[in-house]
């Protein structure tokens, strides 16, 4: 039916106008700005239907319409094409990210870049430990009975732990331990590392067995502990822009939720590298994120998402643009990490 067709066209127009003007959009303005081929009165009828179906709503009786979460959802799913980035934007990404010296540098540049491109709050997750593999394990002696373990993953992430050993150890024992640990764990994915421990204990020479047991216990703690996943957040200043317009009351609960990290990490856990995930308003099922949308995607090679990154902003955001930016940055970060 050409009928329904036009109604969707009206919804798309409403979303676009509302996103760009931040004013509830009325039938007259709509017919002027878009070539819908029908009069305002007809649009009004369509709007009444759209409202009944729950795609739009009016803030008060005699105001224009505003999309609901459901309306944005339909827009994202069916009405928007992914907007390719401009050449200038692509160039900006390269210029911004090239020259990063280490993992932290890559991620903090990414977060700044993303915040700048989208003018939203950007969030980048460190490569999840559990999905990485061990590149190297280093053992450093700090004192007679105190060692420092340094774990380097294939994504360049470095974790360190101090271990107090049950007995004093000497330099040769440290060297043996280092060799032992590396031969057991290098190349092993961290999720699978636990399975290697019994083996390791068996093959370890008797005089090292106690030491190995203590050290692997600490190691497992480090590796398995998923709470250690870290986030880099940037662009919070963008929240103070649209101000009262975008968020009910203040941005405070949102800032708090972002600092909590847990909330964002949970959202991040669902991403994969192939599709951009969009969660709109209430879909986030977290009070503080009411009125906020979350656009995210995984980075890393297609078969293996190392972590996620994305942006958080008002539901009234430019979805096509944000989705494109998030995807482009994720791809670039994936490349960078793959080659290092």
Beta strands in the chain (DSSP E): 56-57, 66-67, 121-125, 134-143, 146-153, 158-164, 231-234, 277-280, 292-299, 307-314
Work out how close the CB of 290 gets to DNA at its nearest, in angstroms, rounded to a whole number.
20
Decide if residue 236 touches its own copies (CB under 8 A).
Answer: yes
Cβ proximity to its own copies, 73 vs 119, nearer residue: 119
Q: Among residues 49, 92, 255, 338, which is the contact residue for its own copies, using CB under 8 A?
A: 255
Residue of 104, 189, 304, 335 that binds its own copies (CB under 8 A): 104
Tokens 């340094």 label which residue?
Answer: 150
User: For 175, which DSSP code?
Assistant: H
For binding to DNA (CB under 7 A), which residues are involved? 3, 6, 23-29, 37-42, 44-45, 47-48, 51, 58, 60-65
Which residues ranging from 122 to 151 are in contact with its own copies (CB under 8 A)?
135-136, 138, 140, 142, 148, 150
Beta carbon of residue 77, minimum distance to DNA (angstroms, whole number): 24
CA–CA gap between residue 118 and residue 122 (Å, rounded): 8
Q: Which of 37, 87, 240, 303 binds its own copies (CB under 8 A)?
A: 240
Q: In degrees rounded to 5, what are phi and psi of residue 253?
A: -60, -35
Quote the CA–CA distance of 18 and 258 in Å, as a whole number: 26
89 binds, among DNA, its own copies, none (CB under 5 to 8 A by kind): none
Q: At closest approach, how far in Å is the CB of 107 from its own copies?
A: 12
In residues, how long is the chain?
340
Pick between residue 59 and residue 198 the one whose CB is nearest to DNA: 59
Judged by beta carbon, residue 88 or residue 240, the one nearer its own copies is 240
Is 153 within 8 Å of 274 (Cβ atoms)?
Answer: no
Which among DNA, its own copies, none contacts residue 162 (Cβ within 5 to 8 A by kind)?
A: its own copies
- Applying CB under 8 A, among 11, 76, 97, 103 the residue interacting with its own copies is 103
Judged by beta carbon, residue 64 or residue 334, the one nearer DNA is 64
Contacts with 296 (C-beta within 8 Å, 6 or more apart), sequence order: 123, 267, 268, 271, 276, 277, 308, 309, 310, 311, 326
Pairing of strands 121-125, 66-67: unpaired
């Amino acid at each position: 039916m050409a009928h329904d067709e036009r109604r969707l066209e009206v919804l798309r127009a409403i979303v676009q106008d509302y996103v760009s003007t931040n004013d509830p959009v009325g039938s007259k303005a709509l017919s002027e700005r878009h070539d819908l081929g029908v009069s305002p009165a007809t649009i009004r009828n369509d709007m009444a239907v759209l409202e009944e179906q729950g795609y739009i709503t009016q803030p008060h009786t005699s105001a224009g319409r505003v999309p609901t979460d459901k309306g944005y959802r339909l827009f994202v799913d069916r009405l928007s094409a992914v907007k390719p980035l401009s050449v200038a934007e692509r160039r900006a990404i390269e210029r911004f990210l090239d020259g990063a010296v280490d993992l932290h540098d890559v991620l903090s540049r990414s977060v700044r870049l993303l915040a700048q491109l989208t003018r939203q709050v950007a969030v980048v997750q460190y490569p999840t430990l559990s999905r990485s593999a061990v590149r190297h394990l280093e053992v450093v002696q700090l004192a007679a009975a105190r060692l420092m373990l340094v774990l380097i993953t294939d994504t360049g992430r470095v974790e360190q732990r101090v271990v107090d050993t049950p007995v004093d150890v000497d330099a040769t024992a440290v060297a043996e331990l280092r060799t032992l640990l590396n031969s057991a764990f290098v190349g092993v994915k961290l999720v699978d590392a636990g399975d290697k421990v019994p083996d390791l204990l068996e093959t370890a020479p008797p005089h090292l067995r106690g030491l190995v047991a203590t050290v692997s216990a600490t190691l497992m703690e480090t590796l398995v502990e998923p709470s250690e996943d870290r986030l880099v957040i940037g662009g919070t200043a963008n929240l103070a822009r649209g101000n009262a317009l975008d968020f009910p009351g203040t941005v405070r609960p949102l800032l708090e939720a972002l600092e909590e990290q847990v909330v964002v990490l949970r959202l991040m856990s669902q991403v994969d590298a192939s599709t951009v995930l969009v969660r709109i308003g209430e879909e986030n099922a977290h009070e503080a994120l009411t009125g906020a949308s979350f656009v995210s995607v995984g980075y890393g090679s297609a078969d293996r998402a190392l972590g996620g990154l994305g942006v958080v902003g008002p539901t009234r955001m430019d979805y096509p643009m944000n989705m494109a930016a998030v995807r482009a940055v994720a791809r670039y970060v994936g490349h960078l990490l793959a080659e290092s």
